[in-house]
């Protein structure tokens, strides 16, 4: 055991703090004598709320402060929503553990809770409805399903976005079911079928990063690694890397576990939702070439309007 508390870094947002407490509780259950200190940081992504992340630095705005603290030795590990961790990471930092993956689904939240026509999902939205989101994947997926709708920018934590919806800034928004569950906000909105409405790569998973050469901390954290969730995240991140996407590239993906194999499903979109390319591939857990083969399959089938947003 370390001779001082293990310093666990996290963003300050309510959801990030809930995830940090989950990681701390699991670590303390695995190591009852281990003292853990939660160290919050205000991330750049939380400071700017009026522009899409892709315009001001992308996913790195969620991680750069924690990366700097981790590399400087001011914290020993960092807890992230796996979907917010950029694909290419510093060699000095490693995802050491992935907690058991929660609900992967997106939840559609309507400003008008009841639909008089008896419809559900995106079909319940009125013609020309405004959908609030800042995620290219959600925007493209929504426009593919409902090209009559309009996308309006929604940034902020869950409470902020729900407040904007209530204030009438949009007719609907999309939130991660896992985030709502971790905040105790169950019963809100309608979960969307993940096979019809694929989630973001890594959605629902909590990733814990350590310094790659910090063997002591890595050994401690490895005790709470959930193997199936970790292998699924590796597959989805491998697909992202092989596609060569960026923060403007709309991609959805989901890994399912079968008999000694992973089934990775994915869809690529044009940002306006007009084009969609789907694919799926099975391969053994830990096979780094499986996601690469699926990426090639998707890009080979993609029209120029989709292909131009990926560099793979």
**Number of CB atoms found within 10 A of residue 11's CB:** 26
Helix (H) or strand (E) holding 209: strand 206-211
What number of residues does the chain have?
312
Give the closest residue to 248 by CA, choosing from 137, 131, 120. 137
Q: Which one, of 222, 213, 208, 221, lies nearest residue 71 by Cα?
A: 213
* Both tokens assigned to 275: 């084009």
Structural contact between residues 110 and 124, judged by C-beta atoms closer than 8 angstroms: yes
Q: Specify the DSSP element, H or E, that contains 251.
A: strand 251-258
* CB contact set of 312 (below 8 Å; sequence gap of 6+): 242, 243, 244, 245, 295, 296, 299
Packing angle between helix 14-30 and helix 158-166, nearest 10 degrees?
150
Active site residues: 84
209: closest CA among 46, 99, 102, 100? Answer: 99
In angstroms, rounded to a whole number, what is the distance separating the alpha carbons of residues 268 and 246?
12
Compute the distance between CA of residue 159 and CA of residue 229 in angstroms, rounded to an integer: 28
Residues in CB range of 55: below 8 A, 6 or more apart:
none
**Burial 92-121, CB ≥16 within 10 A → b, else e:** ebbbbbbbbbbbbbbbbbbbeeeeeeeeeb
**Helix (H), strand (E) at residue 106:** strand 106-110
């Amino acid at each position: 055991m370390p001779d001082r508390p293990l310093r666990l870094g996290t963003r300050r947002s309510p959801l990030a703090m809930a995830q940090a407490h989950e990681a701390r509780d699991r670590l303390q259950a695995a190591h009852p004598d281990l003292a853990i200190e939660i160290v919050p940081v205000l991330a750049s992504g939380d400071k700017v709320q009026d522009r899409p992340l892709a315009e001001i630095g992308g996913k790195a705005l969620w991680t750069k402060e924690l990366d700097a603290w981790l590399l400087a030795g001011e914290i020993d590990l960092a807890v992230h929503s796996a979907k917010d961790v950029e694909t290419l990471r510093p060699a000095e930092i490693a995802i050491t553990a992935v907690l058991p993956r929660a609900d992967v689904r997106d939840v559609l939240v309507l400003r008008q809770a009841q639909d008089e026509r008896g419809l559900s999902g995106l079909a319940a939205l009125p013609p020309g409805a405004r959908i609030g989101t800042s995620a290219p994947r959600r925007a493209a997926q929504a426009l593919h399903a409902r090209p009559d709708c309009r996308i309006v920018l929604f940034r902020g934590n869950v409470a902020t976005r729900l407040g904007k919806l209530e204030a009438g800034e949009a007719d609907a928004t999309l939130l991660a079911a896992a985030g709502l569950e971790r905040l105790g906000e169950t019963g809100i909105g309608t979960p969307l079928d993940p096979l019809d409405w694929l989630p973001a790569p890594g959605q629902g998973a909590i990733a814990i990063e350590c310094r790659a050469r910090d063997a002591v901390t890595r050994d401690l954290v490895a005790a709470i690694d959930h193997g199936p969730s970790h292998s699924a995240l590796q597959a989805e991140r491998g697909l992202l890397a092989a596609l060569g996407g960026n923060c403007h590239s709309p991609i959805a993906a989901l890994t399912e576990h079968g008999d000694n194999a992973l089934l990775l499903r994915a869809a690529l979109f044009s940002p306006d939702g007009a084009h969609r390319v789907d694919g799926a591939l099975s391969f053994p857990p830990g096979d780094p070439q499986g996601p690469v083969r699926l990426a090639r399959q998707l890009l080979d089938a993609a029209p120029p309007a989709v292909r131009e947003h990926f560099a793979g």
